[in-house]
Amino acid sequence: MPQLRKDPISGRWVIIASERSKRPDDFRGNSEPKPEAPAAFCPFCAGNESKTPPEVYSLRTPGTLPDQEGWRVRVVPNKFPALARGGQSERFQKGVYEAMSGLGVHEVVIETPDHGLEVSDLSLAHLQEVIETFQARITSIEAEHQYQYVQVFKNKGREAGASLSHPHSQIVATPIIPKRIKEELYGAERLFKKYQECVFCRIIKQETAARERLIEQNGHFCGLAPFASRFPFEMQVFPFRHSSHFTDMSREEVQDLAAVLKSVLTKLKKVLADPPYNLVLHQTPNPNITGGEWPGLSKDFHWHLEILPVLTRVAGFEYGTGFYINPVPPEAAAEFLSAEKTS
Amino acid sequence: MPQLRKDPISGRWVIIASERSKRPDDFRGNSEPKPEAPAAFCPFCAGNESKTPPEVYSLRTPGTLPDQEGWRVRVVPNKFPALARGGQSERFQKGVYEAMSGLGVHEVVIETPDHGLEVSDLSLAHLQEVIETFQARITSIEAEHQYQYVQVFKNKGREAGASLSHPHSQIVATPIIPKRIKEELYGAERLFKKYQECVFCRIIKQETAARERLIEQNGHFCGLAPFASRFPFEMQVFPFRHSSHFTDMSREEVQDLAAVLKSVLTKLKKVLADPPYNLVLHQTPNPNITGGEWPGLSKDFHWHLEILPVLTRVAGFEYGTGFYINPVPPEAAAEFLSAEKTS
């Protein structure tokens, strides 16, 4: 089983992933990205359902069977999970160090049976189904009452960490609330006290009024280039309505999210010639088990998506300081992106 | 002038580096690493001194002139600085946002005139001169009383962010204390209160007794694989004597640091076939201007080096959560590295 270990000074947790354990030879000459697996061997393609662990969820044509063709969106456990279900949860203390068993969930959401498409190519109706699949899996995993945080993310392209090019996202549920999320929660709580208002709501108002970093908006959602963007062409997508959790979207809101997401990803693709990117969801911890710990949470925090194009390298200065150097002002990025036609 | 901007929620600062400003076309098809510049055009080679800004420091043969051949170690301002000296320091507030002028220092330490060498190839005597050069530049920059933190780091190899292969390190001085450093300072302060002892001293004692993550040691220094390693084959180098600042080393300690550094970098090179890596120094902020703010600093904090091989990719899960997934337990890494002969 994987092990979670805590750095005593910073409080940062790492996953020592024994299931993926590697020897030095696995890394020799390995810093160059590998070519993605050719489509012929893709375990995520329609017809290759037997190459993945059995599905835990799918949206499929009525009458078709699980782990057979006929699906539109399919969710399977990760074959090489970073964290795994089952087993006893144990905490270890050894001198100054703390560790715990790596219990968790690691699933793959295969977003389409068609290898050649990508998320921005999907129809709005299909993209809504992908979003509803995320909602369904988050709800189901949170109902297990064991995992404090559910992280949805997407790595697109080799440079962004994808080992398969077939469109997919991942879901990892962790037994503790990650440090990065705690920082955001504390920051949001502090700023709510200062402003007597959700700081994200305030940012959304300021940005949609100023418009200099606004990329896209419709009835329920907007896409921004954040004021303190770490990376060139970084984007954030916010719901206008204050809401702390991704599962709390109406059907209408899901439709508008699909539209904004398709638009900003299409713009990104056109402006930057199909760059690799990471997409991550930020939401509040599992409401089933953290209600007590974070009393003001649902009023303080505002869920959002971050889209991080992989165009520059994180290097020594960033690792040393946590500072990022960004050579593209977000105002310039927003200007290029918002000018791009998406149809 | 570059601008420093603060993310209101997390408190993370970024540098919007106007001097390096780029357009979308600069990134088109640009996610693949570029080949390093061939030696013929290397501005860091002996004989090409006129291709860099005028040197600010050098160790050279008596009788040779600045910006001419005859140097062994040479320090020059970065031609495309992330932060720049001069100008007024100003703070801006705009709604929820905070920014300040990007005053700072960005220098390059050219570690040898010989393009074909790397740090682990340098003689111990030469490596001592490189270390003493870092000490001299830190002392000099801190004496300017304007910069709260001086960060020394090295990016080795394209994948680690180096744009030139000629052996060099960088020094960036920032007008504020970076978030990552503050976190370590607060963590160290908290743990000093708990243990009535420096937590790093405690870690060093625990690791040199247990030996399962110990890679190297001599009279004054040791090299470890950290318990909560984020990356495969990550290493930390600590002085045995409690000390919070890099400039506080005796000549004997500099000799031992050179020996441990040469040894661990040689082991890394042999075990992993010359991997790209980042090396970063962690020390206390500028003692000339922060004495008041961090009263217990020199007793709480213990300076150290981090060496981070670039073998895996930081992707969506890491960006979302701050969690890292490491497929090589540090005990296994230490076993491979410590078994490797260095001569």
Summarize pLDDT for B202-233 with one digit per residue, the tens: 999 999 999 999 999 999 999 999 999 999 99
The whole-angstrom separation of Cα B71 and Cα A51 is 61
- Please tell me the pTM assigned to this model: 0.92
The whole-angstrom separation of Cα B22 and Cα A272 is 12
Mark yes or no for CB contact A323/B154 under 8 Å. no
SS3 label, residue B242: coil
pLDDT at B19 over 50: yes
Name the residue of chain B whose CA is nearest to A195's CA: B96
Chain B residues touching residue A276 (CB < 8 angstroms)? 31
The whole-angstrom separation of Cα A134 and Cα B28 is 31
A173-195 burial, b at 16+ Cβ within 10 Å, e below that, comes to bbbbbbbbbbbbbebbbebbeee
Both tokens of B245, joined, read: 């600042």
Name the residue of chain A whose CA is nearest to B312's CA: A31
Q: Shortest CB distance from B153 goes to which of A226, A276, A316?
A: A316
Mark yes or no for CB contact A319/B188 under 8 Å. no
| Helix (H) or strand (E) segment spanning residue B297 | helix B297-300
Q: Shortest CB distance from B323 goes to which of A178, A188, A271?
A: A178
pLDDT at B34: 53
DSSP state of A145: S
Min Cα distance B62 → chain A (Å) is 34
**pLDDT band for position A150 (50/70/90)?**
very high
Q: Are B165 and B274 in contact (CB under 8 A)?
A: no
Catalytic amino acids of B? 168
Interface test with B, best of A10, A13, A16, A170 (most B CBs within 10 A): A16
- Reported as half-sphere exposure (CB side, CA atoms, 13 A), residue A35 has a value of 4
Candidates A106, A166, A168, A302; catalytic one: A168
Chain A residues touching residue B326 (CB < 8 angstroms)? 14-17
Q: Shortest CB distance from B227 goes to which of A5, A154, A278?
A: A5
**Is the CATH code 3.90.1150.200 the one for domain B3-339?**
no
DSSP state of A59: E
Nearest CA among A231, A208, A222 for reference residue A333? A231
Mark yes or no for CB contact B9/A187 under 8 Å. yes
**pLDDT band for position B1 (50/70/90)?**
confident
Nearest CA among B255, B284, B273, B257 for reference residue B309? B273
**pLDDT band for position B143 (50/70/90)?**
very high
The whole-angstrom separation of Cα B257 and Cα A52 is 50
Mark yes or no for CB contact B320/A178 under 8 Å. yes
Q: Are B207 and B229 in contact (CB under 8 A)?
A: no
* Distance set, CA A191 to CA A62, A228, A292, A296, B239 (Å): 49, 17, 20, 12, 40
Mark yes or no for CB contact A11/B187 under 8 Å. yes
Q: Which of A53-57, A296-300, B324-328 has the highest mean pLDDT?
A: A53-57
Q: What percentage of residues in chain A have a pLDDT greater than 70?
A: 93
Q: Shortest CB distance from A15 goes to which of B97, B323, B336?
A: B323
pLDDT at B185: 92
* pLDDT tens, residue by residue, B48-89: 999 999 999 999 999 999 999 999 999 999 998 889 887 778
Strand spans (E) along chain A: 3-6, 13-16, 57-60, 71-77, 91-94, 97-101, 105-110, 149-156, 168-174, 214-217, 221-224, 235-239, 277-282, 304-309, 324-326
The whole-angstrom separation of Cα A261 and Cα A244 is 19
CATH architecture, domain defined by A3-24+34-339: 2-Layer Sandwich (3.30)
Q: Are A1 and A87 in contact (CB under 8 A)?
A: yes
Q: What is the ipTM of this complex?
A: 0.90
Mark yes or no for CB contact A315/B5 under 8 Å. no
